[in-house]
Amino acid sequence: MLLLYKPDISMHNTKYVFVTGGVTSSLGKGIIAASLAKLLQERGYSVTIQKLDPYINIDPGTLNPYEHGECYVTDDGAETDLDLGHYERFLNIPTSQANNVTTGRIYQSVIDKERKGEFLGKTVQVIPHITDEIKHRIQLLGKTGDYDIVITEIGGTVGDIESLPYVESVRQLLWEKGEENAIVIHLTLVPYLAAAGELKTKPTQHSVKMLMQSGVSPNILVCRTEHEISEDIKRKLALFCNVKKEDVIQSIDAETIYDVPNLMFEEGLDKVVLDKLKLSSEKQPELIVWNDFIKKHKNPKSEVEIGLIGKYVELRDSYKSITEAFIHAGSTNETKVKVRWIHSESLTTENIKTKLDSLNGILVAPGFGDRGIEGKIKAVQYARENNIPFFGICLGMQMAVIEFSRNVLNLKDVFSTEMNENCENPVINLMKSQKEVTKKGGTMRLGAWDCKISKESKAFNAYKSELISERHRHRFEFNNDYLKALEGSGMKATGVNPKTGLVEIVELSNHPWFVGVQYHPEYKSTVLNPHPLFVDFIKAALKQSNN
């Protein structure tokens, strides 16, 4: 009998690296995970990163940015944690819904199964049902057969009540997979006490003890620190935390997050991970394009100042992907991009000139609701009238259409129906399919959509392509009833969805650089692929600064 070879994906032995956090939050687990992944990728392994978030929201889509920073959107339309942005920016590969799971999503699946009767009369409990679901979600990416290594970042800090089921799931997986297939990196803080002039190891000892009480012994400690950790301190940490001295890795404060892969390489993090997983470390990471990017980023030949007009500017993480995209585009242009943070609520007719004075470019940011909206419209007007390069993203694009309709077309009572449902001229309104939507979570126009670009446009100059795909996250749309009038007066729709006819890009023909996009280009900017529109916007700002 002829046996046809059929690859069995379960044969693909994916290895798992768990990253837990101790002592405090905000130590940068996402950056450590992304840096390790980058090094492993450069060594030839296929790697992905997943984040488990211990909150009850199904996803961060309904969270106010002040709560949790930016909501990052993937190609498949998942609304996710901003760490996924770092993963994509570092690894240059797309993530998906499977890369971000919350407690809410875990419970929702378990409860759905319970309602379907899938537990056959059993009492449904945290152990084993919730932990089984967590384990299932962790292994989903591994089971695709696409990855040699899956790095799973456990959100929160060890010891938090809500993290317990995750730590227990990690304990079980470590036992099931064996030490050559699954390891734990514990990211911890070694604080410096100025009064004592010393680095202190006790908080790390305590957090490792806490982890051990849950049955998990970390294999590697990554120690965040402001000062060099001496060999003595490393020995002490190793002794009291039950790891080898070479498994204590220092992670000193870096000038930029993009330095962290190099710093982790110098400390040997990728090497100890590969040794523990019994994988070859023969091929060295080269980071050629990466290091060229850093070199240009750190040695700019010029500088531009961009005004970022938003209403969440108090928490800069709300605009994380935008500021990172500026860094990528700045490096390509060998230009330092200085950001002037401007609260849209603070802009008035009287102060606008002073507040926006001498800017080389203006970016009006995405957002929701009417707070600060008139300030955004004023900023658009200022950019348009003073020939300052303008970049409007999502709500920023919508405000550009409103501003033009009010001040150039001279239409009365112009708005988006998001802000005024009954305005006379709703130049931005809801699509029919959105009108019936009552639930807020996960119901916007989300994820990747195609856009066809006209050749005679700034967008085409930047993308050098007529068909692009970009990620969306919005409910309201350009109202095509006004297209003819707007185009007749100089605001052109240069990018349109080929299937739906929805306007995705608007531009002004008689302006040095005025581009509004309904989508979010910032999500797709990476170190290896800086976003063409950001690169072109910074180029235009540079030109403006030389005038």
- Contacting residues toward ligand GLN, per CB under 6 A: 366-368, 394-395, 418, 473-476
Taking the complex as a whole, how short is the minimal distance between the CB of residue 286 and ligand GLN, in angstroms?
A: 38
Taking the complex as a whole, how short is the minimal distance between the CB of residue 372 and ligand GLN, in angstroms?
A: 12
Give CB contacts under 8 A, 24+ apart, made by 482-486.
Answer: 482/401, 482/405, 482/425, 482/427, 485/409, 486/401, 486/404, 486/405, 486/409, 486/427
- In a 3-state reduction of DSSP, which class is residue 340? strand
Whole-number Å distance between alpha carbons of 391 and 37: 33
Q: Which is nearer to ligand GLN, 254 or 431 (CB)?
A: 431
Taking the complex as a whole, how short is the minimal distance between the CB of residue 477 and ligand GLN, in angstroms?
A: 7
**Cβ 49 vs Cβ 94: under 8 Å:** no
- Extended beta strands in 231-331, E state: 248-252, 302-310
Nearest to residue 506, comparing CAs of 519, 497, 517?
517
Q: Which is nearer to ligand GLN, 255 or 436 (CB)?
A: 436
Active-site residue, from 394, 418, 451, 504: 394
Whole-number Å distance between alpha carbons of 37 and 152: 11
Contacts of 533 (CB under 8 A, 6+ apart): 391, 459, 462, 463, 515, 517, 521
Whole-number Å distance between alpha carbons of 385 and 547: 16
**DSSP labels, 356-400:** TTT-SEEEEPP--SSTTHHHHHHHHHHHHHTT--EEEETHHHHHH
Instruction: List the structure tokens of 486.
Output: 């707007």
Taking the complex as a whole, how short is the minimal distance between the CB of residue 18 and ligand GLN, in angstroms?
A: 33
Taking the complex as a whole, how short is the minimal distance between the CB of residue 431 and ligand GLN, in angstroms?
A: 10
Q: Which is nearer to ligand GLN, 366 or 530 (CB)?
A: 366
Taking the complex as a whole, how short is the minimal distance between the CB of residue 99 and ligand GLN, in angstroms?
A: 21
Q: Which is nearer to ligand GLN, 295 or 371 (CB)?
A: 371
Taking the complex as a whole, how short is the minimal distance between the CB of residue 368 and ligand GLN, in angstroms?
A: 4
**Cβ 200 vs Cβ 39: under 8 Å:** no
Taking the complex as a whole, how short is the minimal distance between the CB of residue 401 and ligand GLN, in angstroms?
A: 12
Q: Which is nearer to ligand GLN, 40 or 395 (CB)?
A: 395
- First-to-last CA distance in the chain? 78
Q: Which is nearer to ligand GLN, 129 or 320 (CB)?
A: 320
Nearest to residue 308, comparing CAs of 299, 318, 297?
318
Q: Is 522 a catalytic residue?
A: yes
CB atoms within 10 A of CB 231: 9
Q: Is 12 a catalytic residue?
A: no
CA 171 to chain CA centroid, nearest Å: 28
Instruction: List the structure tokens of 154.
Output: 């456990």
Taking the complex as a whole, how short is the minimal distance between the CB of residue 537 and ligand GLN, in angstroms?
A: 17
Instruction: List the structure tokens of 251.
Output: 């992670």
Whole-number Å distance between alpha carbons of 372 and 503: 24
Q: Which is nearer to ligand GLN, 105 or 475 (CB)?
A: 475
The β-bridge relationship of strands 149-154 and 15-21 is parallel
Q: Which residue in the block uniquely carries the two structure tokens 């007749």?
A: 488
Q: Which is nearer to ligand GLN, 403 or 418 (CB)?
A: 418
Q: What are phi and psi of 449, to 5 degrees?
A: -135, 145
Q: Cis (ω within 30 of 0) for the bond into 7?
A: no
Q: CA–CA distance from 197 to each of 16, 227, 498 (Å)?
A: 38, 11, 64
Taking the complex as a whole, how short is the minimal distance between the CB of residue 474 and ligand GLN, in angstroms?
A: 3
Q: Which residue in the block uniquely carries the two structure tokens 């929201």?
A: 57
Q: Which is nearer to ligand GLN, 261 or 366 (CB)?
A: 366
Active-site residue, from 324, 403, 477, 522: 522
Q: Which is nearer to ligand GLN, 224 or 524 (CB)?
A: 524
Q: Is 394 a catalytic residue?
A: yes
Whole-number Å distance between alpha carbons of 437 and 443: 7
Nearest to residue 99, comparing CAs of 42, 149, 152, 172?
152
Active-site residue, from 297, 328, 520, 531: 520
**Cβ 313 vs Cβ 341: under 8 Å:** yes
**Cβ 321 vs Cβ 520: under 8 Å:** yes
- Among all residues, which ones are annotated catalytic? 394, 520, 522
